[in-house]
Amino acid sequence: MVATLAQRTLRLSPLMGLLLGVALEPAHAQTLTSAVQSQLARWYRSASRSANGTWGIAIANQQGDLLWSVRPNQPMIPASTVKLLTTGFARTVLGGDARLATRVVGEGSTDPNGEWRGSWALELNGDPSLERPTRGGPTLSDLAWQLADRGIRKLNGPLQVTSANGPANVVYPEAWSPHHWGRVFAPLIGPITLNENVVYLTIRPGGKLGTKARLVSTIPQGLDALVTIHAQTWKGARSRLALRRMADGGWLITGSIGINALPRRLTSVAGNPKAVLAETWAKALHEAGIVWDRTPESSVVPPVPTVDSFDQVPERPADTKQQVLAEVTSAPFDSLASEINRRSLNIGAELLLQWAAGRDDAAEQLTQHVQEVTGVQDGIRLVDGSGLSAEDRLTPATFVHYLARFPETPAGRNFAQLLPANGVGTLRPIGWGLPEPGVVHAKTGTLGGVSTLVGYLGRRDGVLLISVMYNGGRARTAKRAQWNLFRLLGADGVSIPADTTEAQGDEDSADDSDQMGGEGQ
């Protein structure tokens, strides 16, 4: 019989073992040899010395049976590993092939001159990939050209925005600390999302000394009217530029740029996504040869019932016939979720949660999902879908139970493949020290004072489920130790093939596995 970790390696008294929460439970098919247990004990002694704080660790077999653990039932701040759970929940509700649509809707018809006689609106539904020229995804230009192909040459009236899933408002999640609001990793969340609600402004020097710097491009496109430049052109090649968001939703650029300087790209977030939408839409229409008269007087009939800001959705008359004038769609859910996990994209995770659960009690629905899948009721508190809130709580044991049981549900097929592999995205640092790509599929989590790493690790005797969590003042040091834990256990690992985590862990199927082959806060 294998001795417990406390008896065999740490040589602690029973009381001290209980205080540390160290436990070892037998596995059904997979075990950790005494040599590996000794390595784990040495790793933990080193990690806990170098990163003093609260550690919670659970290492389990494919069935979720604990093989080695430290405080497995300690509720801890999980940070971005919550995205793993959001992915599972949203996939359960929506399916892996679901797509988000962005549309132009309207009521009316086109006259012989190509003028749309009637009402129209943009319907945005929180597609995290909309209007991203550098990362791919549908664009407003796609919509504009579809209108042109229908023969529409002129639109009238101010921009109306609607959403299929409630008001088209954008907010900072209440669960997020105001300290994060408006930072690149914490933009406004809601149906109106362009380029992840991040803005890039490229500036170059003017033609002469003393002249204003010039705006040469924006992402999203067409934001020139929202940018005011006070920055001056000076001699040399150095730049001291400052970018400030203004109350009207625009930006002010001040400072100086050297006349010999290369173009500089400044980054901000959208403080008024509807204003960004209006300018980007105007640019798209112009490029498609469509005139847009924005004045209210140009509207021919009452507009399509829409919502903006915090208004309620108005009732639509029963005889109203609304048309879809143009439509673009996102990539399938699985593709979006994979990228969101790879980049640890907070806005993406929150939009997935809203897509699946709406905006009223989404976090409560996510919590209930985790409880139902794991069979665990205590130690779970989820208040957002991204893990950016320090109010979230989960235990290491809950994570490994989820990793074991969700793949057994109808929505769990190939779940591990939706998490980044070693050497990719936020798992790039763990690329070295493992024999091949795909040995690990996991999700990282980072906040001030928090470092977590949760996922699957392929070995010849089966897949290990690992949750290693740290809350304390040495998060960076703890993160390095967590990488080392995965390298230790995966030193002779094998790539995790599709559907391996659905198997019940018999050794024959596990042995075949070697034949198959982004962080925000």
pLDDT in tens, 237-263: 999 999 999 999 999 999 999 999 999
Kind and range of the H or E run holding 106: strand 101-110
Fold of 5-95+334-511: Beta-lactamase (3.40.710)
pLDDT above 70 covers a percentage of the chain that reads 85
Pairing state between β 214-219 and 239-245: unpaired
- Residue 511 banded pLDDT, cuts 50, 70, 90: very low
Average pLDDT over residues 178-200: 97
Cα separations (Å) of 496 from 68, 416, 439?
21, 8, 6
> What is the maximum span of the chain, computed from C-alpha positions, in angstroms?
90
The arithmetic mean of pLDDT across residues 306-316, rounded, is: 39
Distance CA 33, CA 351 (A): 43
Domain with CATH 3.50.80.20 in the chain: 101-172+273-331
Q: Domain spanning 101-172+273-331 has what CATH number?
A: 3.50.80.20
Is 70 exceeded by the pLDDT of residue 309? no
Mean pLDDT of the chain: 88
Pair 403, 501: CB distance under 8 Å: yes
The whole-angstrom separation of Cα 156 and Cα 294 is 6
As a whole number, mean pLDDT of residues 137-154 equals 98
Residues in the chain: 521
Alpha carbons 497 and 438: distance in angstroms, whole number:
8
| Per-residue confidence band for 312, with pLDDT thresholds at 50, 70 and 90 | very low
pLDDT value at 4 more than 50: no
Whole-number pLDDT of residue 505: 32
The average pLDDT across 474-502 equals: 88
Least confidently predicted of 148-152, 166-170, 515-519: 515-519
Q: What is the mean pLDDT of residues 79-102?
A: 98
Res 518 pLDDT > 50: no
Model confidence at 433, pLDDT cuts 50, 70, 90, reads confident
Confidence tier at 454 by pLDDT (50, 70, 90) = very high
pLDDT for 14 equals: 32
- Other beta carbons within 10 Å of 217: 15
* Confidence bin at 322 (pLDDT 50/70/90): confident
Task: Return the closest-CA partner of residue 100 out of 137, 132, 133, 125.
Answer: 125
Q: Is residue 426 a contact partner of residue 521, using CB atoms and an 8 Å limit?
A: no
Give the residue-averaged pLDDT of 23-50. 81
Supply the Cα-derived Rg of the chain in whole angstroms: 26
Domain span(s) for CATH 3.40.710.10 in the chain: 5-95+334-511
pLDDT of residue 316: 44
**Across residues 31-49, what is the average pLDDT?**
96
Q: Are 266 and 252 in contact (CB under 8 A)?
A: no
Q: Check residue 150 and report its DSSP letter.
A: T
Mean pLDDT of 355-376: 97
> Looking at residues 155-182, what average pLDDT do you find?
95
Residue 29 pLDDT greater than 70, yes or no: no
The residue-averaged pLDDT of 341-367 equals: 97
